[in-house]
Amino acid sequence: MSKEDKNTNKPNKPGEEFNWNRVFKIVLGWSAILIGFFLIMVYTKGSDAQSSQISFNEFQTLIRENKVKSATVRKSNNNYEFDGTLVSPQNFQVAGRTITTDKINVFLPYTNLSNDVIAEWEKAGINFTIEKDEGSWFEPLIGILPWILIIAFWIFIMRRMSQNAGGGTRGIFSFGKAKPKMLSESSVKVTFKDVAGADEAKQELSEIIEFLKTPQKFQKLGGKIPKGVLLLGPPGTGKTLLARAVAGEAGVPFFSISGADFVEMFVGVGASRVRDLFEQGKKSAPCIIFIDEIDAVGRHRGAGLGGGHDEREQTLNQLLIEMDGFEQNNGVIVIASTNRPDILDPALLRPGRFDRQVVVDRPDVKGREGILKVHTRKIPLAKDVKLEIIAKGTPGFSGADLANLVNEAALLAARRNSDMVTMRDMDDAKDKVLMGTERRSIVISEREKKTTAYHEAGHVIVAKMIPEADPVHKVTIIPRGRALGVTSYLPIDEKHTYSKEYLEAMIAYLFGGRAAEKLIFNEYTTGASNDIERATGIARKMVCEFGMSEKLGPLKYGDKQEEVFLGKEIHQNKNHSDATQILIDEEIKKIIQNGLERAEKILSENKDKLDALSMALLERETLDSEEIDAVLRGETLPPIEKPINESSQPENKMKESGKQTKDGEDFAPGDVALAN
């Protein structure tokens, strides 16, 4: 990095940021010093005040009675001040009270000390000295010294504030300066080798990096450097990681700042920081500016609760001008990321500002395998670990989910005192991420446990008997997360579109739990509330959005009205008649009823399999796909092998205590079965 770059980055060091706590500490420190100084002065005056101020007549009496031992005489204006020490303490009346002291003070009504007065003092045996008039300049200095100290203190404070953030024209108002983090090649350890599952995004960004390194290669063909790259994608897909990799690969100054850093309580601060940010970028050009979560300042203008002149809109306007205004920012490339591209202002998305929009989507099977390889490079893996199998069993996982899975597997292996991460640790970590953490310490009554077993078995049987349904990955009646039992499904192939048959199959196996409860116990529980909610949502979308109703046809009913400023749906506009609404409700109810009847029919025809699977669940608590298939074939499962390092002591202890969980005490309605 050049010397100029270092100087450019110097104002942005954390140690030089404006710190109100530091200012308050300085103020309090100097205040304490001033208060101490005044106390010393008061004390000194107080010490002098121990002398009793007496009248001239009393003074003459003491002289005649030879009671004055020594004295210091000082000239004070037009008279003399006599500070004497008595031979012995005497009683004096001062301000209505009696004071006993051997110190006296009196002002003598003499303009000059005559020889007669001096002779009288010598005759009385007083050892006195006459001081010259030297205090005339010192006393005024003592009087103005506190004011000098106060003025000097405030000059010091103002100079320190003006030097904040490396100085500048704004001085004390330096909160208008941007404080981006400047990353160098040495400070960033992430490169494109650490990024997997986003090949298209890496290619786009690699081209920009190459443009910065060798611009003449593109300029000779008339190509211009792109001004902005917008990274779009769901949370956890690696947008910020890609930006860090760009910083590691670029070899040019890289400024990183969050969208929220522009907005504060002061109007105009955001716009000022945008200007300052691009000024810093111009000084270090060619460079890259990375704005994380740009939706904090890039929301659609002209809507919402803030009016047309709020702070956020001013910041966005300034950002638009800096990216593509009259003044060109040559060599400054802006990379921004967001997971809310739908709420961004159209002026921000046009070519010339963000020339490229790179979608960073959830990885496919190959991408997931690559991500797992990246995250397991520093983790000792056992020979039985097959990353390709884990990748196939984690559809829909983002990069952050896979990183969390690997980390959970490492923690589980450490908890089991293992030296290596095994396939069993990976499977358990996957189940933990998919279904939630096991809660074995919760005590469940036998009745509730049996109901949960039949509920989950109902989901499994219905899903197994419908060809269009997703394969069942695992079923458990061990409480996980907020649920008393969980059935998880893993699709064989990556799905991007869903057929009507698939959605109807999903509704059917969602009602498998409710149908099983009705068939076996002839009752309904709150455990199916989550299933009903999900099934109703699917049916409503089938009718109103997907056009899968024969009566209503391929029409969209109900436009979502979103408040851009809030970034969420606040109401739904009814763009159809009341008669159509009745038809919509009837069609939704028809789809739901068909799914429920389909589930009830399947379970009544396979009641023996339902009983067998429920008994196996009550015995083993958790069954994987192979064990489920074995039970449905009528085979006997092998005996349970308990791991050496694990035990179910918490559960046993709770059972022995005889405590029972009250209905609805720890679980919200619908927590008994979550069909994921």
With residue 371 as reference, give the H or E element that holds it: helix 365-375
- Report the C-alpha gap between 441 and 444 in whole angstroms: 9
Tokens of 303: 């809507």
By the 8 A CB rule, do 20 and 295 touch? no
Q: Which of 273, 255, 83 is nearest to 165 (CA)?
A: 273
What is the CB neighbour count within 10 angstroms for residue 222?
Answer: 6
E strand map for 440-551: 472-476, 485-489
- Report the C-alpha gap between 209 and 466 in whole angstroms: 51
- Report the C-alpha gap between 168 and 313 in whole angstroms: 26
E strand map for 515-624: 559-563, 568-573, 622-624
Residues designated as active site: 456
Q: What are phi and psi of 383, to 5 degrees?
A: -70, -20
8-state DSSP, 564: T
By the 8 A CB rule, do 617 and 611 touch? no
Question: Cα 352 vs. chain centroid, distance in angstroms?
Answer: 32
8-state DSSP, 218: H
**What is the residue type of 536?**
T
By the 8 A CB rule, do 176 and 269 touch? yes
Q: What are phi and psi of 90, to 5 degrees?
A: -125, 160
By the 8 A CB rule, do 255 and 280 touch? yes
